[in-house]
Amino acid sequence: MGRIEVVARWVVDGFLTGLHRSPRKGFSVEFAEHRPYQPGDDLRYVDWRIAARADRWVVKQFEEETNLRALLVLDVSPSMVWRGTPTRLTKLAYAERLTAALALLLLRQRDAVGLVCFDERVRNALVPRARMTQWSRLVGVLERMREDEGAGARRSVAGDALLHAARLIRRPGLVVLVSDLLTDVDPVDRALRAIRAAGHDVVALHILDPAERDLTVTGDALFVDPESGDEVPAAVADVRDAYRVTVAEALAEWRTTFARAGGRYEIVMTDAPFGAPLRRAFAARQDTGH
């Protein structure tokens, strides 16, 4: 499956392990406790020693490691198909590899993973599954999305995509938004509140190109918004300071928006190693054992 698969496997095999441990109970590998037998329980899990010794039927419960259901929500809008220099990946190419690596990591933890791709509408939705074959399906979706890059779309509707993703998870789970967040804040804010009210965790991986953050180009330039088509000619020296202030304010607003809703927010630069943002974004989950 090409570079997406190679990079994702390298990231996961290299050093990202132990993302979470679930407190839920089920039938799996580590014994947790006994509970009284109930009609319909699988007889394989009856503790026959206790039944013979105490004439009491109890069932072994084990700590389940396959409980988390995660939806990865990937922005494939036109603004993602951009890079500040030909030597870097586009924001979308970087985000695809990051998404594939996170999916593989979760699946190796025996978690269920799904994918939602969106621009001005939801383009593709893959229901969460915990089988390793799910990763092939997910990477296949990413490949098809690449073939349709920009296909007539203009803007991104991150709020609608987040709500769509949350509806695919029946019980509290994890929703990860991977986007450059060049979209309105209010719809995303409303979606975050609804998702958190349903009990889901939310993480935003805000994809940025270094040139996009600092406006490193020089001379006269024509600035084009890929999602609206608007064009503004300007001398970079005249607008650079105001641009940097505006970007800093926008990043602060997004950070506040996610924090206020009880979500996590991480800026991801496209010149950073793939594993670094995942480690930072999920450090809290790893430390708390969830």
Q: Are 4 and 100 in contact (CB under 8 A)?
A: yes
- Based on the domain organization, do 9 and 152 belong to the same domain? yes
Model confidence at 245: pLDDT above 90? yes
- Based on the domain organization, do 119 and 56 belong to the same domain? no
pLDDT band at 154 (very low <50, low <70, confident <90, very high): low
- Based on the domain organization, do 118 and 148 belong to the same domain? yes
pLDDT band at 256 (very low <50, low <70, confident <90, very high): very high
- Based on the domain organization, do 183 and 210 belong to the same domain? yes
- Taking the C-alpha atoms of residue 69 and residue 130, their distance in angstroms, rounded to an integer, is 8
- Based on the domain organization, do 252 and 183 belong to the same domain? yes
Model confidence at 24: pLDDT above 90? no
Phi and psi at 175, nearest 5°, equal -115, 125
The domain in which residue 99 lies consists of: 3-18+67-288
Percent of the chain with pLDDT over 90: 47
Non-local CB neighbours of 71 within 8 Å, separated by 6+ positions: 113, 114, 115, 116, 128, 165, 166, 168, 169, 173, 174, 175, 176
- Based on the domain organization, do 52 and 186 belong to the same domain? no
DSSP assignment, residue 210?
H
Model confidence at 204: pLDDT above 70? yes
pLDDT band at 169 (very low <50, low <70, confident <90, very high): confident
pLDDT of residue 23: 46
Number of domains in the chain: 2
Tell how strand 174-179 and strand 201-208 pair up. Answer: parallel
- Based on the domain organization, do 188 and 273 belong to the same domain? yes
Model confidence at 218: pLDDT above 80? yes
- Based on the domain organization, do 145 and 168 belong to the same domain? yes
Structure-derived torsion over alpha carbons of residues 229, 235, 241, 244, reported in degrees to the nearest 10: 30
- Based on the domain organization, do 45 and 171 belong to the same domain? no
- Based on the domain organization, do 73 and 56 belong to the same domain? no
Q: What is the mean pLDDT of residues 7-11?
A: 63
Q: Are 68 and 35 in contact (CB under 8 A)?
A: no
- Based on the domain organization, do 56 and 84 belong to the same domain? no
Q: What is the mean pLDDT of residues 188-210?
A: 95
Q: What is the mean pLDDT of residues 43-53?
A: 82
pLDDT of residue 62: 55
Which residue has tokens 């804010």?
Answer: 189
The 10s digit of each residue's pLDDT in 55-88 is: 888 887 654 444 688 999 999 999 999 998 999 9
pLDDT of residue 5: 62
Q: What is the CATH number of the domain that holds 165?
A: 3.40.50.410
14-28, 146-160, 223-237, range with the lowest pLDDT: 14-28
